[in-house]
Amino acid sequence: MKNFNKSMKHPILDNIWKAVSYLLLLCVVTYFYFKLSADRFNFGNCISLTDTAISFLLIGLMNLGLWFYIFYNQTKKHDVFRLIIQHLTVSVVYSLIWFVSSSLVLLFFIQTQDDYFSFLQKTFEVKFFIGLMIYFIMMFFYNLVIISQKNKSNIEQRRELSSMLQQEELNSLKAQINPHFLFNSLNSISSLVYDNADDAHEAIVKLSDYFRYTLTLSKNQFTKVKDEIENIERYFEIEKIRFPEKMKINYDIDSSCNDLFIPVLILQPIAENAVKHGIYQSIEQSQIDIRLINNDDFYSIIFKNNYEDFSAKAVGTSTGLENIRKRLRLIYKRNDLLSINKTEKIFEIQIDFPKKI
Protein backbone atom coordinates (compact mmCIF):
# COMPACT_ATOMS: atom_id res chain seq x y z
CA MET A 1 0.00 0.00 0.00
CA LYS A 2 2.91 2.38 0.66
CA ASN A 3 4.16 1.95 -2.90
CA PHE A 4 0.61 2.45 -4.16
CA ASN A 5 0.27 5.70 -2.17
CA LYS A 6 3.54 7.05 -3.47
CA SER A 7 2.69 6.27 -7.08
CA MET A 8 -0.84 7.69 -6.92
CA LYS A 9 -1.03 11.14 -8.54
CA HIS A 10 -3.94 13.54 -8.78
CA PRO A 11 -6.24 12.02 -11.42
CA ILE A 12 -7.06 15.43 -12.94
CA LEU A 13 -3.83 17.40 -12.56
CA ASP A 14 -1.45 14.62 -13.65
CA ASN A 15 -2.23 15.22 -17.32
CA ILE A 16 -2.79 18.44 -19.28
CA TRP A 17 -5.63 16.93 -21.32
CA LYS A 18 -7.44 15.75 -18.21
CA ALA A 19 -7.13 19.23 -16.71
CA VAL A 20 -8.46 20.83 -19.91
CA SER A 21 -11.35 18.35 -20.02
CA TYR A 22 -12.17 19.15 -16.40
CA LEU A 23 -12.18 22.89 -17.15
CA LEU A 24 -14.44 22.41 -20.16
CA LEU A 25 -16.89 20.31 -18.14
CA LEU A 26 -16.84 22.91 -15.38
CA CYS A 27 -17.58 25.65 -17.94
CA VAL A 28 -20.59 23.70 -19.25
CA VAL A 29 -21.99 23.27 -15.73
CA THR A 30 -21.27 26.93 -15.02
CA TYR A 31 -23.20 28.02 -18.10
CA PHE A 32 -26.30 26.02 -17.18
CA TYR A 33 -26.18 27.34 -13.61
CA PHE A 34 -25.91 30.90 -14.95
CA LYS A 35 -28.98 30.40 -17.19
CA LEU A 36 -30.90 28.93 -14.25
CA SER A 37 -29.84 31.76 -11.95
CA ALA A 38 -30.66 34.52 -14.43
CA ASP A 39 -34.04 33.10 -15.44
CA ARG A 40 -35.30 32.04 -12.01
CA PHE A 41 -34.01 34.64 -9.57
CA ASN A 42 -34.45 37.78 -11.71
CA PHE A 43 -31.48 39.64 -10.28
CA GLY A 44 -30.09 40.64 -13.63
CA ASN A 45 -27.30 39.21 -15.68
CA CYS A 46 -24.59 41.17 -13.84
CA ILE A 47 -25.28 39.76 -10.37
CA SER A 48 -26.04 36.28 -11.73
CA LEU A 49 -22.85 36.24 -13.79
CA THR A 50 -20.77 37.45 -10.84
CA ASP A 51 -22.25 34.84 -8.51
CA THR A 52 -21.81 32.09 -11.07
CA ALA A 53 -18.16 32.97 -11.77
CA ILE A 54 -17.27 33.17 -8.07
CA SER A 55 -19.21 30.06 -7.08
CA PHE A 56 -17.83 27.75 -9.75
CA LEU A 57 -14.29 29.05 -9.44
CA LEU A 58 -14.42 28.11 -5.77
CA ILE A 59 -16.10 24.75 -6.25
CA GLY A 60 -13.67 23.93 -9.06
CA LEU A 61 -10.80 24.41 -6.60
CA MET A 62 -12.67 22.57 -3.85
CA ASN A 63 -13.23 19.59 -6.15
CA LEU A 64 -9.49 19.37 -6.79
CA GLY A 65 -8.78 19.50 -3.07
CA LEU A 66 -11.50 16.92 -2.35
CA TRP A 67 -9.24 14.31 -3.97
CA PHE A 68 -6.81 14.38 -1.06
CA TYR A 69 -9.59 13.81 1.49
CA ILE A 70 -11.06 10.92 -0.52
CA PHE A 71 -7.67 9.35 -1.23
CA TYR A 72 -6.20 9.48 2.28
CA ASN A 73 -9.49 8.56 3.93
CA GLN A 74 -10.14 5.46 1.79
CA THR A 75 -7.39 3.46 3.54
CA LYS A 76 -9.36 3.55 6.81
CA LYS A 77 -11.70 0.66 7.46
CA HIS A 78 -15.31 1.59 8.27
CA ASP A 79 -18.52 -0.36 8.38
CA VAL A 80 -21.15 0.51 5.78
CA PHE A 81 -23.47 2.43 8.11
CA ARG A 82 -20.65 4.55 9.50
CA LEU A 83 -19.35 5.20 5.98
CA ILE A 84 -22.78 6.45 4.82
CA ILE A 85 -23.11 8.76 7.82
CA GLN A 86 -19.59 10.04 7.26
CA HIS A 87 -20.18 10.94 3.60
CA LEU A 88 -23.56 12.51 4.33
CA THR A 89 -21.96 14.67 7.00
CA VAL A 90 -19.00 15.64 4.82
CA SER A 91 -21.30 16.43 1.88
CA VAL A 92 -23.37 18.82 4.03
CA VAL A 93 -20.23 20.51 5.35
CA TYR A 94 -18.85 20.66 1.81
CA SER A 95 -21.98 22.37 0.48
CA LEU A 96 -22.13 24.81 3.39
CA ILE A 97 -18.47 25.77 2.97
CA TRP A 98 -19.07 26.37 -0.73
CA PHE A 99 -22.16 28.48 -0.11
CA VAL A 100 -20.65 30.55 2.74
CA SER A 101 -17.30 31.15 1.01
CA SER A 102 -18.93 32.18 -2.28
CA SER A 103 -21.38 34.41 -0.41
CA LEU A 104 -18.61 36.19 1.47
CA VAL A 105 -16.78 36.93 -1.76
CA LEU A 106 -20.02 38.02 -3.42
CA LEU A 107 -20.53 40.59 -0.64
CA PHE A 108 -17.87 42.80 -2.27
CA PHE A 109 -19.75 42.86 -5.59
CA ILE A 110 -23.36 43.55 -4.49
CA GLN A 111 -23.70 47.13 -3.37
CA THR A 112 -27.01 47.08 -1.48
CA GLN A 113 -27.36 44.91 1.59
CA ASP A 114 -31.03 44.14 0.91
CA ASP A 115 -30.25 42.78 -2.54
CA TYR A 116 -27.41 40.73 -1.09
CA PHE A 117 -29.47 38.98 1.60
CA SER A 118 -32.41 38.54 -0.75
CA PHE A 119 -30.12 36.89 -3.30
CA LEU A 120 -28.64 34.57 -0.69
CA GLN A 121 -32.07 33.57 0.56
CA LYS A 122 -33.29 32.65 -2.94
CA THR A 123 -30.14 30.81 -4.01
CA PHE A 124 -29.40 28.87 -0.79
CA GLU A 125 -31.53 25.79 -1.49
CA VAL A 126 -30.43 25.51 -5.12
CA LYS A 127 -26.72 25.95 -4.35
CA PHE A 128 -26.92 23.63 -1.35
CA PHE A 129 -28.48 20.88 -3.49
CA ILE A 130 -25.96 21.46 -6.30
CA GLY A 131 -23.14 21.26 -3.74
CA LEU A 132 -24.41 17.91 -2.47
CA MET A 133 -24.78 16.57 -6.00
CA ILE A 134 -21.30 17.70 -7.04
CA TYR A 135 -19.76 16.20 -3.89
CA PHE A 136 -21.23 12.75 -4.54
CA ILE A 137 -20.34 12.89 -8.24
CA MET A 138 -16.72 13.74 -7.44
CA MET A 139 -16.60 11.19 -4.63
CA PHE A 140 -17.88 8.50 -7.00
CA PHE A 141 -15.37 9.53 -9.69
CA TYR A 142 -12.40 9.63 -7.31
CA ASN A 143 -13.28 6.25 -5.81
CA LEU A 144 -13.52 4.75 -9.29
CA VAL A 145 -10.03 6.11 -10.01
CA ILE A 146 -8.69 4.64 -6.76
CA ILE A 147 -10.26 1.23 -7.45
CA SER A 148 -8.93 1.26 -11.00
CA GLN A 149 -5.41 2.15 -9.85
CA LYS A 150 -5.51 -0.50 -7.12
CA ASN A 151 -6.53 -3.13 -9.66
CA LYS A 152 -3.76 -1.99 -11.98
CA SER A 153 -1.27 -2.10 -9.11
CA ASN A 154 -2.45 -5.59 -8.11
CA ILE A 155 -2.11 -6.81 -11.71
CA GLU A 156 1.43 -5.42 -11.89
CA GLN A 157 2.29 -7.08 -8.57
CA ARG A 158 0.90 -10.40 -9.79
CA ARG A 159 2.93 -10.09 -12.97
CA GLU A 160 6.03 -9.34 -10.95
CA LEU A 161 5.38 -12.29 -8.65
CA SER A 162 4.71 -14.48 -11.68
CA SER A 163 7.99 -13.38 -13.23
CA MET A 164 9.81 -14.06 -9.96
CA LEU A 165 8.19 -17.48 -9.73
CA GLN A 166 9.23 -18.32 -13.28
CA GLN A 167 12.78 -17.21 -12.51
CA GLU A 168 12.81 -19.33 -9.37
CA GLU A 169 11.56 -22.32 -11.34
CA LEU A 170 14.29 -21.71 -13.91
CA ASN A 171 16.92 -21.53 -11.18
CA SER A 172 15.48 -24.69 -9.68
CA LEU A 173 15.63 -26.40 -13.07
CA LYS A 174 19.28 -25.44 -13.43
CA ALA A 175 19.99 -26.87 -10.00
CA GLN A 176 18.17 -30.09 -10.88
CA ILE A 177 20.46 -30.97 -13.78
CA ASN A 178 21.40 -34.48 -12.84
CA PRO A 179 24.91 -34.51 -11.34
CA HIS A 180 25.21 -38.12 -12.47
CA PHE A 181 25.01 -36.87 -16.04
CA LEU A 182 28.12 -34.76 -15.42
CA PHE A 183 29.96 -37.54 -13.61
CA ASN A 184 29.08 -40.17 -16.20
CA SER A 185 30.06 -37.83 -19.03
CA LEU A 186 33.42 -37.08 -17.44
CA ASN A 187 34.06 -40.80 -16.93
CA SER A 188 33.18 -41.50 -20.56
CA ILE A 189 35.43 -38.68 -21.73
CA SER A 190 38.29 -39.92 -19.57
CA SER A 191 38.09 -43.31 -21.27
CA LEU A 192 38.24 -41.61 -24.67
CA VAL A 193 41.40 -39.72 -23.80
CA TYR A 194 43.53 -42.87 -24.27
CA ASP A 195 41.58 -44.36 -27.17
CA ASN A 196 40.68 -41.33 -29.25
CA ALA A 197 42.03 -37.94 -28.19
CA ASP A 198 40.18 -36.07 -30.94
CA ASP A 199 36.80 -37.46 -29.86
CA ALA A 200 37.63 -36.70 -26.24
CA HIS A 201 38.45 -33.10 -27.12
CA GLU A 202 35.20 -32.75 -29.09
CA ALA A 203 33.22 -34.24 -26.20
CA ILE A 204 34.79 -31.80 -23.73
CA VAL A 205 33.88 -28.87 -25.97
CA LYS A 206 30.28 -30.07 -26.24
CA LEU A 207 30.04 -30.61 -22.49
CA SER A 208 31.44 -27.12 -21.90
CA ASP A 209 28.98 -25.56 -24.36
CA TYR A 210 26.11 -27.45 -22.79
CA PHE A 211 26.78 -26.22 -19.27
CA ARG A 212 27.61 -22.73 -20.48
CA TYR A 213 24.15 -22.54 -22.05
CA THR A 214 22.31 -23.95 -19.04
CA LEU A 215 24.20 -22.01 -16.36
CA THR A 216 24.60 -18.60 -17.99
CA LEU A 217 21.07 -18.01 -19.23
CA SER A 218 19.87 -14.45 -18.90
CA LYS A 219 16.95 -13.43 -16.72
CA ASN A 220 14.80 -13.44 -19.83
CA GLN A 221 12.41 -16.37 -19.71
CA PHE A 222 12.63 -17.05 -23.44
CA THR A 223 15.26 -18.04 -25.96
CA LYS A 224 15.21 -18.81 -29.66
CA VAL A 225 14.00 -22.23 -30.76
CA LYS A 226 17.23 -22.73 -32.68
CA ASP A 227 19.34 -22.27 -29.52
CA GLU A 228 17.17 -24.59 -27.46
CA ILE A 229 17.26 -27.33 -30.10
CA GLU A 230 21.04 -26.99 -30.45
CA ASN A 231 21.42 -27.43 -26.69
CA ILE A 232 19.30 -30.58 -26.80
CA GLU A 233 21.52 -31.84 -29.62
CA ARG A 234 24.58 -31.26 -27.44
CA TYR A 235 22.92 -33.15 -24.61
CA PHE A 236 22.20 -36.15 -26.83
CA GLU A 237 25.70 -36.08 -28.34
CA ILE A 238 27.23 -36.17 -24.88
CA GLU A 239 24.98 -39.05 -23.80
CA LYS A 240 25.83 -40.81 -27.06
CA ILE A 241 29.45 -41.12 -25.92
CA ARG A 242 28.28 -43.77 -23.46
CA PHE A 243 25.93 -45.52 -25.90
CA PRO A 244 27.44 -45.08 -29.37
CA GLU A 245 25.72 -48.11 -30.91
CA LYS A 246 22.60 -48.17 -28.76
CA MET A 247 21.37 -44.61 -29.25
CA LYS A 248 19.90 -43.20 -32.47
CA ILE A 249 18.51 -39.67 -32.81
CA ASN A 250 16.43 -38.45 -35.76
CA TYR A 251 15.65 -34.76 -36.30
CA ASP A 252 12.88 -33.37 -38.48
CA ILE A 253 13.11 -29.61 -37.88
CA ASP A 254 11.19 -26.94 -39.75
CA SER A 255 13.79 -24.18 -40.15
CA SER A 256 11.06 -21.51 -40.35
CA CYS A 257 10.70 -21.87 -36.57
CA ASN A 258 14.34 -21.11 -35.78
CA ASP A 259 13.79 -17.50 -34.77
CA LEU A 260 10.59 -18.07 -32.81
CA PHE A 261 10.81 -17.91 -29.02
CA ILE A 262 10.49 -20.74 -26.55
CA PRO A 263 10.72 -20.89 -22.73
CA VAL A 264 14.30 -21.66 -21.78
CA LEU A 265 15.21 -25.25 -20.82
CA ILE A 266 11.64 -26.44 -21.27
CA LEU A 267 12.79 -29.28 -23.54
CA GLN A 268 15.51 -30.48 -21.17
CA PRO A 269 13.25 -32.64 -18.93
CA ILE A 270 11.73 -34.26 -22.03
CA ALA A 271 15.16 -35.12 -23.41
CA GLU A 272 16.23 -36.53 -20.04
CA ASN A 273 13.00 -38.54 -19.81
CA ALA A 274 13.59 -40.04 -23.27
CA VAL A 275 17.17 -41.05 -22.38
CA LYS A 276 16.31 -42.36 -18.93
CA HIS A 277 13.37 -44.54 -19.98
CA GLY A 278 14.23 -45.17 -23.61
CA ILE A 279 18.02 -45.60 -23.58
CA TYR A 280 19.13 -46.52 -20.07
CA GLN A 281 16.53 -49.25 -19.60
CA SER A 282 16.55 -50.65 -23.12
CA ILE A 283 18.52 -53.72 -24.12
CA GLU A 284 18.35 -53.20 -27.86
CA GLN A 285 18.95 -50.08 -29.92
CA SER A 286 16.66 -47.19 -28.96
CA GLN A 287 15.52 -44.41 -31.21
CA ILE A 288 14.43 -40.88 -30.35
CA ASP A 289 12.56 -38.86 -32.98
CA ILE A 290 12.30 -35.08 -32.64
CA ARG A 291 9.97 -33.13 -34.91
CA LEU A 292 9.35 -29.41 -35.11
CA ILE A 293 6.20 -28.37 -36.99
CA ASN A 294 5.18 -24.82 -37.91
CA ASN A 295 1.42 -24.12 -37.88
CA ASP A 296 -0.59 -20.92 -38.19
CA ASP A 297 -0.99 -19.99 -34.51
CA PHE A 298 1.30 -22.58 -32.93
CA TYR A 299 4.54 -24.36 -33.50
CA SER A 300 4.72 -27.88 -32.13
CA ILE A 301 7.63 -29.95 -30.84
CA ILE A 302 7.19 -33.72 -30.71
CA PHE A 303 9.46 -36.17 -28.89
CA LYS A 304 8.91 -39.85 -29.62
CA ASN A 305 10.95 -42.76 -28.27
CA ASN A 306 10.57 -46.49 -27.76
CA TYR A 307 10.79 -48.10 -24.31
CA GLU A 308 10.78 -51.56 -22.72
CA ASP A 309 7.73 -53.04 -21.00
CA PHE A 310 9.29 -53.12 -17.53
CA SER A 311 9.72 -49.33 -17.54
CA ALA A 312 6.12 -48.62 -18.62
CA LYS A 313 4.92 -47.58 -15.17
CA ALA A 314 7.62 -44.98 -14.79
CA VAL A 315 7.20 -43.43 -18.23
CA GLY A 316 4.96 -40.38 -18.18
CA THR A 317 5.03 -39.96 -14.40
CA SER A 318 8.20 -37.88 -14.35
CA THR A 319 8.30 -34.86 -12.05
CA GLY A 320 9.99 -33.01 -14.89
CA LEU A 321 6.92 -33.43 -17.10
CA GLU A 322 4.66 -32.10 -14.35
CA ASN A 323 6.95 -29.12 -13.99
CA ILE A 324 6.60 -28.49 -17.73
CA ARG A 325 2.81 -28.47 -17.36
CA LYS A 326 3.06 -25.91 -14.57
CA ARG A 327 5.44 -23.69 -16.53
CA LEU A 328 3.23 -23.77 -19.62
CA ARG A 329 0.17 -22.91 -17.54
CA LEU A 330 2.03 -20.10 -15.82
CA ILE A 331 3.44 -18.60 -19.02
CA TYR A 332 0.62 -19.11 -21.51
CA LYS A 333 -2.37 -19.33 -19.11
CA ARG A 334 -3.50 -22.57 -20.78
CA ASN A 335 -3.78 -26.19 -19.65
CA ASP A 336 -3.99 -27.93 -23.03
CA LEU A 337 -0.55 -27.32 -24.51
CA LEU A 338 1.17 -30.56 -23.43
CA SER A 339 -0.19 -33.91 -24.59
CA ILE A 340 1.13 -37.44 -23.97
CA ASN A 341 0.42 -40.41 -26.19
CA LYS A 342 1.65 -43.76 -24.87
CA THR A 343 1.34 -47.18 -26.51
CA GLU A 344 2.89 -50.52 -25.55
CA LYS A 345 6.26 -49.65 -27.06
CA ILE A 346 6.16 -45.96 -28.00
CA PHE A 347 6.04 -42.91 -25.78
CA GLU A 348 5.23 -39.56 -27.45
CA ILE A 349 5.12 -36.06 -26.00
CA GLN A 350 3.84 -33.06 -27.93
CA ILE A 351 3.99 -29.41 -26.84
CA ASP A 352 2.11 -26.74 -28.75
CA PHE A 353 3.69 -23.31 -28.26
CA PRO A 354 1.48 -20.29 -29.06
CA LYS A 355 3.23 -17.78 -31.26
CA LYS A 356 1.54 -14.96 -29.37
CA ILE A 357 1.31 -14.81 -25.59
pLDDT at 2 over 50: no
pLDDT reported for residue 318: 62
End-to-end, the C-alpha distance of the chain in Å comes to: 30
Rounded mean pLDDT, 176-188: 68
Q: Which domains does the chain have, with CATH numbers?
A: 2-166 (no CATH), 176-354 (3.30.565.10)
pLDDT reported for residue 97: 92
pLDDT band per the 50, 70, 90 thresholds, residue 94: very high
CB contact at 8 A, 308 and 269? no
List the single range of 77-91, 103-117, 193-207, 262-276 with lowest mean pLDDT.
103-117
- Distance CA(101)–CA(95), nearest Å, equals 10
pLDDT reported for residue 126: 85
How many DSSP H helices and E strands does the chain contain? Answer: 10, 7
> 0.75 cut: is pTM over it?
no
Residue 172 CB neighbours (<10 A): 10
pLDDT reported for residue 253: 92
Degrees (nearest 5) of the Cα angle 186, 321, 249?
Answer: 50
> Percentage of the chain with pLDDT > 90?
20
Q: Which helix (H) or strand (E) holds 224?
A: strand 222-224
